[in-house]
């Protein structure tokens, strides 16, 4: 079992560009959540996907959007990148309807210059 | 709003016990979690406790929950150099999904002295 995998591991983008990050959940999991972890901070919840729909959303602007595919994998898209979007983006997977622990991937380090 | 507070640093001698503390504000929290993050890595779930429990023990780890004071602690017995990491406390309300918009603290850096 590969666990939760994220790609790419590192990414450098220019301010104003758009970026897409990818996540494959742990085998058997059907729910994917995304978190943003700025340097020196704890992770902050962006949104959660289940059955290809956004189910919950944290306090993030509409520039942050996502998608979940039929195979449960997910993408996080960020438009009009700002310097402040530089962070580690973490994906977590779990089962829906069972309040259990979330398994996190290693993250994608995004640097906006 | 929801808030989770942790002290930023804790320094202990190798072999001693480490106690990392956390306070939270959301009384509707159902689960409280401890995650470990090593440099350059993602988050590793260490343990969690259901809000109707007072204590949970798992090998070297002991979690204590004082629901009245909204205080959570993680005790690591016989602390080793491999325990050096950032420890995050997190809370999560029950709404059906396992990840459920967890609210994290800023993390406690555990420093091990030889």
Q: What is the pLDDT of residues A50-75, one digit of tens each?
A: 999 999 899 999 999 999 999 999 99
Q: Is the pLDDT of residue A34 over 90?
A: yes
Q: Strand A103-104 and strand A87-94: pairing?
A: antiparallel
Q: What's the pLDDT at B95?
A: 47
Q: Is the pLDDT of residue B96 over 70?
A: no
- Report yes or no: B30 at the A interface, CB cutoff 8 Å: yes
- Cβ-Cβ contacts under 8 Å, A50 against chain B: 97
* CB of B10 closer than 8 Å to CB of B105: no
CB contact under 8 A, B97 and A97: yes
Instruction: Among B33, B99, B106, select the one facing A48 at the smallest CB separation.
Output: B99
Instruction: Among A58, A95, A104, select the one facing B101 at the smallest CB separation.
Output: A58
Chain B's closest residue to A97, CA to CA, is B96
Q: What is the mean pLDDT of chain A?
A: 93
3 state SS of A24: strand
- Report yes or no: B9 at the A interface, CB cutoff 8 Å: no
- Report yes or no: B28 at the A interface, CB cutoff 8 Å: no
| For range B86-92, the mean pLDDT | 92
- Report yes or no: B43 at the A interface, CB cutoff 8 Å: yes
Q: Is the pLDDT of residue B78 over 70?
A: yes
Q: Is the pLDDT of residue B30 over 60?
A: yes
pLDDT band at A43 (very low <50, low <70, confident <90, very high): very high
- Report yes or no: A58 at the B interface, CB cutoff 8 Å: yes
Burial code (b: 16+ CB inside 10 Å, e: under 16) for A15-31 equals eeeebebbbbbbeebbb
Q: What is the mean pLDDT of chain B?
A: 88
Distance from C-alpha of A107 to C-alpha of A68, rounded to nearest angstrom: 17
| B4/A102: higher pLDDT | B4
Instruction: Among B45, B94, B104, select the one facing A43 at the smallest CB separation.
Output: B104
pLDDT band at A10 (very low <50, low <70, confident <90, very high): very high
Distance from C-alpha of A83 to C-alpha of A61, rounded to nearest angstrom: 15
φ, ψ at B93 (rounded to 5°): -75, 160
Q: What's the pLDDT at B100?
A: 60
CB contact under 8 A, A107 and B30: no
Q: Is the pLDDT of residue B29 over 80?
A: no
Q: Is the pLDDT of residue B24 over 70?
A: yes
Q: Is the pLDDT of residue B13 over 60?
A: yes
């Amino acid at each position: 079992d590969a666990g939760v995998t994220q790609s790419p591991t590192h990414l450098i983008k220019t301010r104003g560009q758009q970026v897409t990050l990818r996540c494959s959940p742990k085998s058997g999991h059907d729910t994917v959540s995304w978190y943003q972890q700025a340097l020196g901070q704890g992770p902050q919840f962006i949104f959660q996907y289940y059955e290809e729909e956004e189910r919950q959303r944290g306090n993030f602007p509409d520039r942050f959007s996502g998608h979940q595919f039929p195979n449960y994998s997910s993408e996080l898209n960020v438009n009009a990148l700002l310097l402040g979007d530089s962070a580690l983006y973490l994906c977590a997977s779990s089962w829906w309807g069972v309040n259990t622990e979330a398994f996190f991937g290693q993250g994608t380090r995004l640097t906006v210059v | 709003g929801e808030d989770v507070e942790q002290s930023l640093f804790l320094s202990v001698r190798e072999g001693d016990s480490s106690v990392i503390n956390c306070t939270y504000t959301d009384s509707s929290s159902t689960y409280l979690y401890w995650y470990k993050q090593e440099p350059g890595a993602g988050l590793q779930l260490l343990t969690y406790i259901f809000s109707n429990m007072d204590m949970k023990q798992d090998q070297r780890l002991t979690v204590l929950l004082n629901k009245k004071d909204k205080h959570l602690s993680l005790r690591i017995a016989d602390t080793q150099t491999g325990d050096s990491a950032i420890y995050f406390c997190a809370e999560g309300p029950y709404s059906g999904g396992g990840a459920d918009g967890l609210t994290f603290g800023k993390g406690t850096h555990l420093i091990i002295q030889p």
